[in-house]
A and B are shown apart, each in its own frame.
Chain A
Amino acid sequence: MSYEPPLEKYTVSIREVAWGPAAKLKKIGGENTLPFHYFEGALPNPAGLAMEILDVRPESWSPIVLEPFEDVVSDPVRWARKCIDVYGAEALCLRLVSTDPMGMNKSAGEAAEMAKKVADAAGVPLIVWGTEAEEKDAEVLVEVAKACSGGNLLLGPVVKGNYPDVSKAALEHGHAIVAQASMDANLTKELNIALCKSFPPDRIVVDPTSSALGYGFEYTYSIIERIKQFGLFDKDKMMLMPILADVAADCWRAKEAKESKEQGILWEAITGISFLLAGANLLVVRHPESYRLIREMIMEC
């Protein structure tokens, strides 16, 4: 029987975003095909994996996911080093929880100082994340951009309400950004169009906002698939940015994840790997075991 496998070629590529210090520059995106379709296209960069750290001791983490970091959670610098030295993290995501206006409400200046310390000590690609309070994030991320000038960080979340200030500072000080729009491909596109009037498109990663297995998973899964396909199939230039799926907090908030170590690790790893299959280019995860499992699964080609 003669059989010709139905291979498909696309004429555009996902934009390649390079971030991190020169010695450890991390590239994501760049593929001209669907996720893991090595059989019909080029995927020059495997998905990026960042391990999450906080600038304060986590308050509500399950003991299951606190345990691997128990000895370092009071010191973000040591925490960062442990992720890299012990758990082999290639990238980190520092959450500036201390700046939460509803919480400790630390100043932008203090947070930026901590971000600088962590960035210097880590020496790996670093995402610096606010608290999703858009006004405060604008202050904080602008200060971080300045303090870490030239550090080529990935700053986020940048949203409709604060993008002019943050993107301006990011551009001035040599950082990339994460543009966040909630669960709607049209909003993702709108924000990209607005940003690209003054910001280079190949310095943008998009975040359609994530969710956990059993808690909205299917919405995130399909939004990621659709954004990728608007880009690849429809050649929409404003939809060709690499995609972030930040699954850490959502997964470990699920009650099922807190029931046992095995179930927790799989709750996060299955959510993460599913979103990679949908088209995410960068994941943020919390547990060292889910980090290792995902990496080994996607690197076996």
Chain B
Amino acid sequence: MALKGADILKSLPKTNCKECGFPTCFAFAMKIATGGAKLDQCPHINPESKAELEALLAPPMKLVTIGTGDKAMVIGEEEVLFRHEKSFFRETAIAILLSDDEEPGVIDEKLRKIQGFHFERIGQKLNVNLVAVSHDSQDKGKYTSLVKKAMEFTDMPLLLVSCETEALLEAAALCARRRPLVYPITKENVGAALPKLKELKLPVGVWAKSLEELAGVTAQLQAEGIEEMVLDPGSKNMLEAVRDQTLIRRSALKKGFRPLGYPTMAFPCFMYSDKFKEALAAAACIAKYAGIVVLNQVDERFLLPVLVQRFNIYTDPRRPMTVEEKAYEILNPDENSPILISTNYALDYFIVSGAIEEAGIPAYLAIKNTDGLGVLAAWTSGKFNGEAIAEFIKKFGIENKVKHRKLIIPGVARKLKGELEEELPGWEIILGPQEASEIPKFLAEKWSV
């Protein structure tokens, strides 16, 4: 619900005093509408109009910070329903569930894995982000000690889960300096919880059985000065989650409906006991807007696919994805291995490196920085022509890695062959196949030193 310049102008003094730095109030209003100026720049606006306008100009979905320091997780302020419209901005936080009903051995194992867990994939770190501490036993003491344990063992932000409001608030007070998310606050317990929540100033996870009820609870909390909330619409399976998450995101972004203008959470761990289905539901919730997804497993074979899917969904479609410029060593090549060259457009890299692996022939894959342009576009713009590549080959000392002087270039870049023969005297320039899928066959049949 973007505000137009003309709407903003109505609340300005319209004196054209220029004190804001713009020639007229109208020019100032237009700038505010596009985010290029701030209301504070006007010294004469009356406080009431200012407060009203600020509320209207605020992002339609709040930003919520859970945790503190390096590992704090920030979610919310999303701007679109579909990633191609702009981009999704703040990756879904993946939370791992610990229960005070689990055996101590299981808990220790989970904590050890959570803390040590990280993947690296093409220079990107893939991590889980939150520890959800759940109160399922009847014993408050047990819960408190689990919360303490989680604080001790990890430096990750916490999500506190307890249907015993008293236990929940005690735990919240206990780890308040770690800025946990406190969940669930509901229609039933909101009254009792409010005094403590106001005192602690922590982000609040709100649960309700319908979106209408959810809006009622957030409005009540907001009126009492609680700003950071995360919404749980209580979805019971993947299809319900798609529905609820879609309606919340739409209400916030397309209708400007403030009571649902918060990031959301989903619990695939409670939707499915089957680990595969839990992971599939998590992927669906990541694609469809959840700010936090809570899982009950620390098995890397289940988490890695989910984390890669999250990374892909949250990749900014406005910028071509690139990989680092260097000579990648695939399958431990040696001095007799072939050298293939390609661009740093990530898709080119993935497809070519995948094809080399499929071929099972060790090779160097020299990746030249082309600012993410593919072969032909990069050639046209001079980033992948004979001169640029010759310079790159020398800069990275690629000739020192091998005994031969043969360079395989992409089959679509026919004109490049002549250019390189001129720029790299003594090298044999070999035109590779047109399609990356033909690389295995090409290497098997054509490659020899």
Q: Which of A1, A37, A216, A222 contacts B317 (CB 8 A)?
A: A222
Q: How far is the CB of A240 from chain B (nearest CB, A)?
A: 18
A277 touches B276 (CB 8 A): no
In angstroms, Cα B306 to Cα A190, docked, is 35
Q: What range describes how many residues of A lie at the interface?
A: 35 or more
In angstroms, Cα B441 to Cα A296, docked, is 39
- Residues of B268-313 at the interface with A, using a CB-CB cut-off of 8 Å, are 276-277, 279-281, 283-284, 287-288, 299, 301-302, 304-306, 308-309, 311-313
- Residues of A236-258 at the interface with B, using a CB-CB cut-off of 8 Å, are 253-256
| A38 within 8 Å of B (CB atoms) | yes
B residues in contact with A293, CB < 8 Å: 276-277, 280
Stretch at the interface among A80-88, A151-159, A165-173, A260-268: A260-268
In angstroms, Cα B312 to Cα A218, docked, is 5
- Residues of A76-110 at the interface with B, using a CB-CB cut-off of 8 Å, are 102
B residues in contact with A23, CB < 8 Å: none
| B60 within 8 Å of A (CB atoms) | no
A residues in contact with B251, CB < 8 Å: 3, 5-6
Given contacts A5-B247, A102-B438, A270-B309, whether A215 and B354 have CB atoms under 8 Å apart is: yes
| B212 within 8 Å of A (CB atoms) | yes
A300 touches B239 (CB 8 A): yes
| B315 within 8 Å of A (CB atoms) | yes
| A225 within 8 Å of B (CB atoms) | yes
A213 touches B312 (CB 8 A): yes
In angstroms, Cα B371 to Cα A40, docked, is 43
| B375 within 8 Å of A (CB atoms) | no
Interface string of B235-246 (1 = CB under 8 A from A): 001110011001
Q: Which of B219, B243, B277 contacts A39 (CB 8 A)?
A: B243
Q: How far is the CB of A146 from chain B (nearest CB, A)?
A: 29
Interface string of A23-34 (1 = CB under 8 A from B): 000000000000
| A274 within 8 Å of B (CB atoms) | yes
| A273 within 8 Å of B (CB atoms) | yes
Q: Which of B246, B347, B354 contacts A253 (CB 8 A)?
A: B354
Interface string of A1-25 (1 = CB under 8 A from B): 1110110100000000000000000
A residues in contact with B216, CB < 8 Å: 1
In angstroms, Cα B284 to Cα A214, docked, is 16
- Residues of B298-352 at the interface with A, using a CB-CB cut-off of 8 Å, are 299, 301-302, 304-306, 308-309, 311-313, 315, 317, 321, 347, 350-351
| A226 within 8 Å of B (CB atoms) | yes
B residues in contact with A297, CB < 8 Å: 238, 277, 280-281, 284
| A217 within 8 Å of B (CB atoms) | yes
In angstroms, Cα B274 to Cα A294, docked, is 13
A6 touches B250 (CB 8 A): yes
B309 touches A274 (CB 8 A): yes
- Residues of B146-163 at the interface with A, using a CB-CB cut-off of 8 Å, are none
Given contacts A215-B354, A263-B305, A265-B276, whether A221 and B239 have CB atoms under 8 Å apart is: no
In angstroms, Cα B358 to Cα A255, docked, is 9
| B215 within 8 Å of A (CB atoms) | yes
A residues in contact with B284, CB < 8 Å: 273-274, 277, 297
A253 touches B308 (CB 8 A): no
Q: How far is the CB of A225 from chain B (nearest CB, A)?
A: 6
Interface residues of A (CB under 8 A from B): 1-3, 5-6, 8, 36-39, 60, 102, 213-219, 221-222, 225-226, 229, 253-256, 259-260, 262-263, 265-267, 269-271, 273-274, 277-278, 289, 293-294, 296-297, 300-301
Interface residues of B (CB under 8 A from A): 82-84, 121, 211-212, 215-216, 219, 237-239, 242-243, 246-247, 250-251, 254-255, 257, 259, 276-277, 279-281, 283-284, 287-288, 299, 301-302, 304-306, 308-309, 311-313, 315, 317, 321, 347, 350-351, 354, 357-358, 438, 441
A5-B211, A215-B347, A270-B280 provided; 5 other pairs, C-beta below 8 A?
A218-B317, A221-B312, A225-B84, A254-B354, A256-B305
18 contacts between A and B (CB under 8 A): A6-B251, A6-B254, A8-B250, A37-B242, A213-B305, A214-B311, A214-B350, A215-B354, A218-B313, A218-B315, A225-B83, A253-B358, A263-B302, A267-B305, A270-B279, A277-B288, A278-B287, A293-B276
